[in-house]
Amino acid sequence: MKQDSPYDVDVLRKEFPILDKEVNGHPLVYLDSAASAQKPRAVIEAQREYEAHFHSNIHRGVHTLATKATEAYEGVRAKLKNHINASKREEIIFTSGTTDSINLVAGTWGRANLKKSDTIVLTRLEHHSNIVPWQILAQEKGFAIEVVEIKENGELCENSLKEKLALSPKIVCVSHVSNTLGTINDVKNITKQAHQVGALVLIDGAQAAPHKTIDVQVIDCDFYAGSAHKMYGPSGVGFLYGKHELLCQMPPCRGGGEMIESVSFEKQTTFNVPPYKFEAGTPNLSGVVGYGAAIDWINSLGLDNIAAHENSLLEYASSKLLQIEGLRLIGTAKSKASVISFLVDGIHPSDIGTLLDQLGIAVRTGHHCTEPIMTKLGIPGTVRASFAAYSTFSEVDALVAGVERAVKMLR
């Protein structure tokens, strides 16, 4: 099945060495990009090039390689600042990923500012990484966690949001895009409402950054977190955006080299300014360089083009899958990104996933680190196919044929 796309997907796929692979005797059909996207040669090469020719520790040395490595690393910070339209490069902290970024906010801002009588607000849609760091801190501090509920279709319930905001929470933590249901939340509007009651807003952008143009100044959020490996970049790298005045007030949470101004046994140790205050130790240097290449790669293709392609795939896959008897889509929000979760009556999702794998089709099954969604919907998990810039209509056809075959075998 061939359909219109804003770019030539077959040509684009040649940039991804892994997409040529066979798995279990079949051409790989990779429909698990929401878990981690594959990398184009430009990213793999940028990392290799850095390791082979430029590697040295950053910030500390006066020698040529140290200067080159520092320039490369700080250059990516500037690139990321432009990519999400932060107002200053100091607002971008490199982390090991979204999980690390959220733990950083909980461990610094949260530990310094939340007390027993406080309330914070999360949503039913959150990934465990935007729930558990807050629960761990709540055990220590005793504050209350309130949860914004979802509607049947996977959209956030506006009344529930209003009720929770009426409790005057200190922070609202919400995903931009749900990794399980694909729901795109109106984070600009949520941020505006949260600010009206004096709450800060943290946005988990792990699933949004690969598919949407992010403008943190337009959203006006206080924190925004993302992961490179969901954006065609390396794993073990990500970012936390934070408004500069907040980052200046926040205490550091990890001590070590680079995050200090002066260390003394005789006087008080003093700390560096943001972002360095939050970047103790030697970071994942080649990973950050690879992240820079991934951002260039995304921009050369254009996020709007990627989104247009993925939306056509989503529409096509939804209509094809719904023709399978007993199949229901889980998550039918009006505004959705390129994730499609489904269940087939009477068949466990992991059985479908296992049979698809035998055909070389990689999908994810289970709760996708969102157990509270499963509890609410009363389901054990879902089968989740997710798309990226390189996904094709014929891969959707292969998925649909694979599910039909699995259903025949398992019924």
Decide: is 211 part of the binding site for ligand PMP (CB under 6 A).
no
Shortest Å, Cβ 227 to ligand PMP:
3
Give CA–CA dist 286/106, Å, rounded.
27
Residue from 33, 99, 183, 312 touching ligand PMP (CB under 6 A): that is 99
Q: Which of residues 129-188 bind ligand PMP (CB under 6 A)?
A: 129, 175, 179
Shortest Å, Cβ 330 to ligand PMP:
16
Shortest Å, Cβ 177 to ligand PMP:
7
Nearer to ligand PMP, 110 or 402 (CB): 110
Phi, psi of 42 (to 5 degrees): -60, -35
Decide: is 206 part of the binding site for ligand PMP (CB under 6 A).
yes
Nearer to ligand PMP, 33 or 286 (CB): 33
Give CA–CA dist 275/307, Å, rounded.
31
Q: Which residue has the tokens 């891969």?
A: 395
- By the 8 A CB rule, do 207 and 178 touch? yes
Beta bridge partners of 93: 240
Nearer to ligand PMP, 227 or 391 (CB): 227
Residue from 98, 123, 160, 365 touching ligand PMP (CB under 6 A): that is 98
Residue from 127, 243, 320, 364 touching ligand PMP (CB under 6 A): that is 127
What token pair was written down for 402?
């694979």
Which among 337, 320, 340 is positioned nearest to 383, based on CA atoms?
Answer: 340
Shortest Å, Cβ 113 to ligand PMP:
22
One-letter amino acid of 42? A
Which range touches ligand PMP (CB under 6 A), out of 9-17, 96-104, 185-193, 212-220?
Answer: 96-104
Shortest Å, Cβ 82 to ligand PMP:
22
Decide: is 284 part of the binding site for ligand PMP (CB under 6 A).
no
Number of other CB atoms surrounding residue 49 within 10 Å = 16
Q: Which residue has the tokens 């392609």?
A: 309
Nearer to ligand PMP, 99 or 286 (CB): 99
Shortest Å, Cβ 87 to ligand PMP:
24
Decide: is 207 part of the binding site for ligand PMP (CB under 6 A).
yes
Give CA–CA dist 185/175, Å, rounded.
7
Phi, psi of 54 (to 5 degrees): -125, -5
Which among 201, 235, 221 is positioned nearest to 99, based on CA atoms?
Answer: 235
Give CA–CA dist 214/9, Å, rounded.
24
Angle between helical axes of 349-358 and 393-410 (0-180°, round to 10)? 120
Decide: is 32 part of the binding site for ligand PMP (CB under 6 A).
no
Decide: is 227 part of the binding site for ligand PMP (CB under 6 A).
yes
Dihedral-angle region of residue 405 (phi above 0 means left; psi in -120 to 50 means alpha; beta otherwise): alpha
- By the 8 A CB rule, do 145 and 134 touch? yes
Nearer to ligand PMP, 55 or 128 (CB): 128
Q: Which of residues 343-372 bind ligand PMP (CB under 6 A)?
A: 369
Beta bridge partners of 339: 386
Q: Which residues are catalytic?
A: 369
Decide: is 236 part of the binding site for ligand PMP (CB under 6 A).
no
Residue from 47, 73, 97, 285 touching ligand PMP (CB under 6 A): that is 97
Task: List residues near ligand PMP by CB under 6 A.
Answer: 97-99, 127, 129, 175, 179, 204, 206-207, 227, 229, 238, 369
